[in-house]
Amino acid sequence: MTMTNASTKVSGGATPAPVLKPDVLYSGDNGRLFCGAHAGQSAKYTGRDISGQRVHVVTADDVAEARREYEVELACERCGMQPPLVVLR
């Protein structure tokens, strides 16, 4: 495998696919919230933030708890994207 500095390339010129999904909300970097589209390059391609910590998916349960317990909305810090909240009746 051939590796280059900022843009990781595998032999044959193929670029690896992102491991984070653009329409999912993640937490990392000591609580920073971001969608996959606005994740840093380290997180986007490795699932780990710049400090090496694994990023975590923000679930519908996390969103519901934040609303109920802390009266805050969890959203991407750049674009405001929020994960869908599933309501069971």
pLDDT tens-digit map of 49-83: 988 999 999 998 899 899 999 999 999 999 999 88
Residue 46 domain flag? yes
Q: Can you tell me which residue has the tokens 């491991």? A: 19
Please tell me the distance from the alpha carbon of residue 38 to that of residue 7, in angstroms, as a whole number.
17
- Domain annotation covers residue 54: yes
Helix/strand/coil percentages in the chain, nearest 5: 20, 15, 65
Structural domain contains residue 75: no
- Number of domains into which the chain is organized: 1
pTM, rounded to two decimals: 0.77
Residue 58 belongs to what domain range? 25-70
Torsion over CA: 36, 37, 40, 42 (sign): positive
Could you tell me if residue 47 is inside a domain? yes
Does residue 61 fall inside a structural domain? Answer: yes
pLDDT single digits (tens) 13-62: 688 899 999 999 999 978 899 999 999 999 999 999 988 999 999 998 89
